[in-house]
Amino acid sequence: MANAVIPRTAPGQAIPQAVRLAAFRRVATCDIEEAAEQVGRIFCPHRLAPVTASAPDFHALHNCADFDGFSVNYVSYGGSVSIDPGCLERFFLLQIPLAGAARIRTASRDIESAPGVAASLLSPTIPTQMTWQDGCAQLILLVERKLVEQRAAALAGRAVQAVEFEPAVDLATTAARALQEQIATLVDLAERNGPDRRLSAVAAADHREALLDALLAGQRHSLSAAIATFSGQIETLPRALRRARDCLHASATEPLDLVQLAEAAGIGVRALQLGFQRHFGVTISQMLLDMRLAHLNARLRSAPPDARIIEIAFDLGFTHLGRMSGAYRAKFGEPPSATLRRLH
């Protein structure tokens, strides 16, 4: 860790504080209005106020290493402050406390976070109020809303929709520890590279994909049950339907043959069709389309910038490009060409 010195309001005094991402300094001030304005430009507009009227210990520090679609941040406030961002709208925030403590109030519950004990995960559609106490410092992962909702939709076999996480994160769980390790690795990498040497597009994409998977698999959210059902994790899923789903996934780029699929599952065609509707909530054709769209999204993310979308689409079994493009937009919130351009 590097050492930064934040000036106090009284001349000649200073507060030494160990920080992360020191080379990525964006905000360092003892003026509360300036702090609200500058931090608000990076995150979102919010109300910031000291808990005590005089606030002699107030300071604000914000370091930010920005990547494509996400960022890692070190934020600290001297003393105790209240923060009212309302709805975040554009992004999700995972806040991992390093010092002090924080109280977070959402529409449904209150959370107490503390180093090594509990973190908070804020969703863009849920109003939030916070109090950072006793010189609170937090390591914060910001992920764009669109990326989380697109990935959740792909995993759940649904169109893009709002995702709302359980806001309290138990840092003692295996999933939370793994997520913290991923974020720590990214922070260490950013510090080694410095602000003038950015990650390659491929490396940044790999970290982004790993973070998305860890968030959606490790923390309960509004599409958790749908993802479990669509992926076949529900224990009550009949064995025949599990076999059919796995077979469909293995041959997703080939023409659909209901008779062969039913034979592989060991049941009749009609029972297979009814089973998909009852247990997965979609038709066989809809699930196949969703699998092909997921394959297309993955191929576009790893394709070179001069790749021809039409060739990739035909290779994955799409025969009508107009319908494919419309279905892709409905699922991922953008046309295939935008996905290809955005990653290069």
pLDDT of residue 5: 35
Dig out the tokens for 182 from the structure. Answer: 């991923």
* Least confident window among 66-80, 92-106, 162-176, 291-305: 291-305
φ, ψ of residue 80 to 5 degrees: the values are -130, 135
Q: Is 243 helix (H, G, I), strand (E, B) or coil?
A: helix
pLDDT of residue 53: 66
pLDDT > 90? residue 98:
yes
pLDDT of residue 341: 77
Residues 6+ apart with CB under 8 A from 343: 68, 201, 205, 300, 301
**Could you tell me the pLDDT band of residue 152, with boundaries at 50, 70 and 90?**
very high
**Could you tell me the pLDDT band of residue 13, with boundaries at 50, 70 and 90?**
very low
**Mean pLDDT of the region 18-29:** 93
**Could you tell me the pLDDT band of residue 344, with boundaries at 50, 70 and 90?**
low
Q: How far apart are CA 109 and CA 128, in angstroms?
A: 10
Q: Are 26 and 61 in contact (CB under 8 A)?
A: no
Dig out the tokens for 196 from the structure. Answer: 């003038």
**Mean pLDDT of the region 64-89:** 94
pLDDT tens digits, 206-259: 899 899 999 999 999 999 988 887 776 654 568 899 899 999 999 998 889 999
pLDDT > 70? residue 1:
no
E strand spans, the chain = 2-7, 14-19, 25-29, 47-50, 60-66, 70-77, 81-86, 91-106, 110-113, 118-122, 128-144, 168-170
Q: How far apart are CA 126 and CA 298, in angstroms?
A: 30
**Could you tell me the pLDDT band of residue 4, with boundaries at 50, 70 and 90?**
very low
pLDDT of residue 305: 79
**Mean pLDDT of the region 334-341:** 84
Q: List for the chain the helix, strand, coil content (%; round to 5).
A: 45, 25, 30
pLDDT of residue 10: 35
**Mean pLDDT of the region 87-105:** 96
pLDDT > 90? residue 279:
no
Q: 2-226: which CATH topology?
A: Jelly Rolls (2.60.120)
Percent pLDDT > 90 in the chain is: 63
pLDDT tens digits, 117-150: 999 999 999 999 999 999 999 999 999 999 999 8
Q: Is 82 helix (H, G, I), strand (E, B) or coil?
A: strand
pLDDT of residue 343: 59
Dig out the tokens for 312 from the structure. Answer: 């990739």
pLDDT > 50? residue 285:
yes
Average pLDDT, the chain: 87
**Mean pLDDT of the region 66-92:** 95
pLDDT of residue 307: 87
Of residues 64, 9, 72, 19, the one with CA closest to residue 39: 64
Domain residue extents for the chain: 2-226, 235-342
pLDDT of residue 12: 32
Q: Which amino acid is at 324?
A: M
pLDDT > 90? residue 103:
yes
Of residues 137, 135, 136, 109, the one with CA closest to residue 122: 109
**Mean pLDDT of the region 195-208:** 86
pLDDT > 60? residue 282:
yes
Q: How far apart are CA 132 and CA 337, in angstroms?
A: 43
Q: Is 246 helix (H, G, I), strand (E, B) or coil?
A: helix
**Could you tell me the pLDDT band of residue 11, with boundaries at 50, 70 and 90?**
very low
**Mean pLDDT of the region 309-331:** 89
Q: How many CA atoms lie within 13 A of 331 on its CB side?
A: 27
Architecture of domain 235-342: Orthogonal Bundle (1.10)
